[in-house]
Structure 1
């Protein structure tokens, strides 16, 4: 037998031994699956954080509309305190760039919804008095009064993976809007709005 044949038989024998050897298969499988599991874990964590902030946004917007609708008269000081209320609801999440808009909407006998007053955390009234106000059809009842609360917050993505997401967005804005009817009297007045 020539040395070339012996080398070939040795190579074939080594190859057969490697094919039959199952040591290290678990390590190779783990190396293939681990990156996918890590990305899946990070995505689940990010989704959970985002849903939690969205839930707190809904709760804060609803609470603001509920508190304002319980009053017969409010002022800018009372409305400014709503930022503290929403900040307390957002704990432990940051709420530094929270935008709150509160509007009073008067619906007349012809079901025309008009802004009675509005206030915002920016210090500028977001809607002019007397302008048309969008109201859901099921809340459009003649001769009623509504309080609309709009709240938006910017949510920073914590474990941003730009190479995997295909987007450059590192934050997103979560916004909620709630309508409540006044609880006392026929309307909620704002003395200095």
Structure 2
């Protein structure tokens, strides 16, 4: 019994020394905290790139619609040259592969219904226009209503966003971004199809 008591006291004293020893505590804390910090860093970076892509797609729609609305008459080569700089406008080298732009001229018909007069499309991943088809009723963004003799240029930008960190980013981030911009032509009505 005496031997057992000595062993118990020895084990207790070793346990006390181990609990009082602070060597390696910082290393253990760092091993626990580092994965969480990396997760926050990667998640924050992913969120920033995602928001930047939304902003750039919106800016691109606005820039393209504004550029087209400044023409008095438009040709297919004018539209082609605007589409050719789309990657620079978007600020992304992969827009040619993952992006798509649809330009539509929408005018009000004699019956008072907005109709798509013409459309031009360009980019990598083809998408269907949410505005409508040529000579069909147009669905204008934000319930825009045209006056009797009004017409507008609508730019639709589609961009397939792929997260940088697919394992960390939520699945909802992997989506096709869609942005529109509407401008009224300044110099001409731009209802004549440019032939694109």
Q: Distance in 2 between matches of 1:150 and 1:50?
A: 19
Alignment CA distance shift 1:124-1:166 (3 Å): closer
Matches for 1:81-92 after TM superposition, within 5 Å: 81-92=81-92
Residues 111 and 143 in structure 1, CA contact (< 8 A), matched pair in contact too: no
Q: Distance in 2 between matches of 1:166 and 1:176?
A: 21
Q: Distance in 2 between matches of 1:35 and 1:88?
A: 36
Partner residue in 2 for 1:153: 159
Cα displacement (A) at 1:165: 5.2
Partner residue in 1 for 2:5: 5
Count of matched residue pairs: 190
Residues 73 and 190 in structure 1, CA contact (< 8 A), matched pair in contact too: no
Provide, for residues 29-60 of structure 1, a one-character-per-residue CA deviation record: whole Å limited to 9, x for no partner.
21111111101101111111222222221111
Q: Distance in 2 between matches of 1:48 and 1:189?
A: 41
Q: Is 2:97 the partner of 1:94? A: no
Cα displacement (A) at 1:89: 1.6
Cα displacement (A) at 1:140: 3.2
Partner residue in 1 for 2:185: 182
Residues 100 and 120 in structure 1, CA contact (< 8 A), matched pair in contact too: yes
TM-score scaled to structure 1, two decimals?
0.85
Residues 73 and 188 in structure 2, CA contact (< 8 A), matched pair in contact too: no
Q: Distance in 1 between matches of 2:116 and 2:87?
A: 26
Residues 60 and 85 in structure 1, CA contact (< 8 A), matched pair in contact too: no
Alignment CA distance shift 1:125-1:93 (3 Å): closer
Q: Secondary structure, in 3 states, of the residue corresponding to 1:74?
A: coil
Q: Structure 1 unaligned runs (5+)?
A: none
Q: Structure 2 unaligned runs (5+)?
A: none
TM-score scaled to structure 2, two decimals?
0.83
Q: Distance in 2 between matches of 1:110 and 1:137?
A: 18
Alignment CA distance shift 1:150-1:124 (3 Å): closer
Partner residue in 2 for 1:35: 35
Provide, for residues 136-192 of structure 1, a one-character-per-residue CA deviation record: whole Å limited to 9, x for no partner.
33453332110000011222222222xx5575x894322211111111134443232
